[in-house]
Structure 1
Amino acid sequence: MPKGYVVARAKVSNATQWAAYAAKASEAIRKFGGTPLVRGGMMTVAEGEGRARNVVIEFESFEAAKAYAMSQDYAEARKLREGAGEIDIVVVEGV
């Protein structure tokens, strides 16, 4: 069974508020068995638009990744992030 991934790219405008979101989201990631593969770090835009913060989280399956992203646990984290920046998040199936 292919693994599932949550992929996010973000622009942070309030680092303190974002940190509270990240801490709460990390709790949900652990609860749903996710493993962060990329979380911030150096980046270079090779094509198109880029954002400074990029995240890739691996889960055992697409269903597990989707369950995390749609969970009440993550929804609580999301509330802490409101107004602290912009983010795009997708859930994708691995190969």
Structure 2
Amino acid sequence: MPKGYVIAHATVTNPEKWAEYVAKSKIALDKYEGKPIVRGGQSQVMEGNGTARNVVLEFPSYEHAKGYATSPEYAEAKALRQGAGTIDITIVEGV
């Protein structure tokens, strides 16, 4: 079974508030067996617009990744993110 990935591109405008969201989202991450493989860190846009913060979370399956993103636990974390920045999130099935 292919792994699932959550890929996020974010612009953080309130780091303190964003940190609350990240801490709270760990509950859903643990529940759905997710593992961060990219979270912030050094990056360079090579083509296109890009964003300053990039995140890739790996899950045992696409269903786990989707469960994470649609869970009540993650919804609680998302509420904390309001006003802290913008984010684009995509769920992808691995090969």
> Which interval holds the TM-score relative to the shorter structure?
over 0.9
Q: Which residue of 2 aligns with 1:56?
A: 56
Alpha-carbon separation, structure 1, partners of 2:42 and 2:34: 22
Q: Which residue of 2 aligns with 1:32?
A: 32
Percent identity, aligned pairs only?
60
Number of aligned pairs? 95
TM-score (norm 1): 0.98
Q: Which residue of 2 aligns with 1:15?
A: 15
Letter in 1 for 2:26: S
Alpha-carbon separation, structure 2, partners of 1:31 and 1:80: 19
Map 1:48-87 onto structure 2 (within 5 A).
48-87=48-87
Alpha-carbon separation, structure 1, partners of 2:82 and 2:94: 29
Q: Which residue of 1 aligns with 2:92?
A: 92
Task: Give the Å deviation of 1:43.
Answer: 0.2
Following TM superposition, the consecutive aligned residue runs of length 4 or more in structure 1 with deviations greater than 2 angstroms are none
Task: Give the Å deviation of 1:85.
Answer: 0.3
Unaligned 5+ runs, structure 1: none
Alpha-carbon separation, structure 1, partners of 2:44 and 2:26: 25
Alpha-carbon separation, structure 2, partners of 1:69 and 1:49: 25
Alpha-carbon separation, structure 2, partners of 1:83 and 1:49: 22
TM-score (norm 2): 0.98
